[in-house]
Structure 1
Amino acid sequence: MSSSRHRLLGLPVLAVLIAAAGCSPSDDDATAAVPSPDSAVTAMCRNLDGALPRKLDGLDRRDPRPASALTAGWGSPVIILRCGVLRPPKMIDPKVAEGSDPDAVAGGVNGVDWLMEKQDGGAYRFTTANRKAYVEVSVGKGRDSSAVLVGLAQAVKKAIPEGIAD
């Protein structure tokens, strides 16, 4: 399988496109489905969990239920991170690579490539690209997504090596 099939090509930094994007559930008892990746990806996700910031965009870490090293959360309404998710179908959609899909945009923030997908209600879902594991971040309406991605970049670069996930 060619690595270029999954590579998101030369698109501009997402920060310009997402400065006003926002978050998800509004209750304090957020839940998140826990991914079930293989053992190699689980190990990377555990490393990511240990590298994640205690505060993100000024919000304290408040992990969703059920408790897992594969999920994390910040604030209320909560920003949710899930590590070890499956590759999103849009990741290999040629319309995204061409920039002709208005609901999915590829780009990079501080050395981490992301696929941005617009969700219902003004929320966004971001999934890492060109890394050995897929990390998904859900950011709801009204939250500065660029600050969230900048805040996560160092931890992702430290814990999830560059490459193409299976």
Structure 2
Amino acid sequence: MNSLRHRHPARLGLPVLAMSLIAVAGCSSADDGGTAAVPSAGAAATKLCRNLDGVLPRKVDGLSRQDPQSASELTAGWGDAVIILRCGVPQPPKMIDPEVAKGRDADAVAGAVDGVDWLMEKRDDESYRFTTANRSAYVEVTVTADRAREDTSPILVELAPAIKKTIPEGIAS
């Protein structure tokens, strides 16, 4: 499997998505694994996020679920904040950036993994943020810099079934 931490779509083996990337959501429970800001999601997104929280895997990429503080059905974590999921986040500005859509932004790539579209962004601290696209709520997954140096593909592959099951394709409101 190719690593999603690389910046070039060809290297990822993922199709570049059109500029019309529109979004999704991510969710969770609580168990004391670091901290994460709880999104201010609307009622529809919150309902989807609660459903997602109920079907998220107990382990992701070999890491056990340890939800961050503040405990919420809109946040989840694995491996003491190594992987953090937040559901119902706002649309990232990069989703409407024409440079991303054309594959020219070195720090953001649009692609798909197992039927879920993602915007993948390298952050200043070398961590990565993945945000779902073309779903009824936005789901954001952040991966620490240390973990992002490894192959991040299994993380998105393992989260895809839960997202596809609970966050329908569509446009986030």
1:161 equivalent in alignment to 2:161 = no
Query: Could you tell me which residue of structure 2 aligns to residue 152 of structure 1?
Result: 159
The alpha-carbon deviation at position 35 of structure 1 amounts to 0.4
Query: Could you tell me which residue of structure 1 aligns to residue 26 of structure 2?
Result: none
Instruction: Give the whole-Å Cα distance in 2 for the aligned partners of 1:159 and 1:29.
Output: 24
After superposition, the Cα gap between the structure-2 partners of 1:92 and 1:128, relative to the gap in structure 1 and judged at 3 Å, is same
Instruction: Give the whole-Å Cα distance in 2 for the aligned partners of 1:134 and 1:19.
Output: 20
Amino acid aligned to 2:159 = L
The alpha-carbon deviation at position 16 of structure 1 amounts to 2.9
Gapped regions of structure 2 (runs ≥ 5): 8-31
Pick from 44, 47, 51 the counterpart of residue 51 of structure 2: 47
Gapped regions of structure 1 (runs ≥ 5): 1-14, 22-27
8 Å Cα contact 1:20-1:145 kept in structure 2: no
Instruction: Give the whole-Å Cα distance in 1 for the aligned partners of 2:138 and 2:126.
Output: 23
**Count of aligned positions:** 146
Instruction: Give the whole-Å Cα distance in 1 for the aligned partners of 2:128 and 2:82.
Output: 13
Pick from 58, 61, 66 the counterpart of residue 62 of structure 2: 58
Instruction: Give the whole-Å Cα distance in 2 for the aligned partners of 1:128 and 1:41.
Output: 13
Query: Could you tell me which residue of structure 1 aligns to residue 24 of structure 2?
Result: none
**TM-score when scaled to structure 2?**
0.80
Instruction: Give the whole-Å Cα distance in 2 for the aligned partners of 1:95 and 1:17.
Output: 22
CA-atom RMSD in angstroms: 1.7
The alpha-carbon deviation at position 127 of structure 1 amounts to 0.2
1:67 equivalent in alignment to 2:71 = yes
Structure-to-structure mapping, 1:1-166, within 5 angstroms: 16-18=2-4, 29-143=33-147, 144-166=151-173
Q: Following superposition, which runs of at least 4 residues in structure 1 exceed 6 angstroms of deviation?
A: none
* Secondary structure at the counterpart of residue 157 of structure 2: helix
Instruction: Give the whole-Å Cα distance in 1 for the aligned partners of 2:146 and 2:33.
Output: 19
Query: Could you tell me which residue of structure 2 aligns to residue 12 of structure 1?
Result: none
The alpha-carbon deviation at position 121 of structure 1 amounts to 2.7
Instruction: Give the whole-Å Cα distance in 2 for the aligned partners of 1:77 and 1:31.
Output: 7
* Secondary structure at the counterpart of residue 125 of structure 1: strand
Q: Percent identity?
A: 66
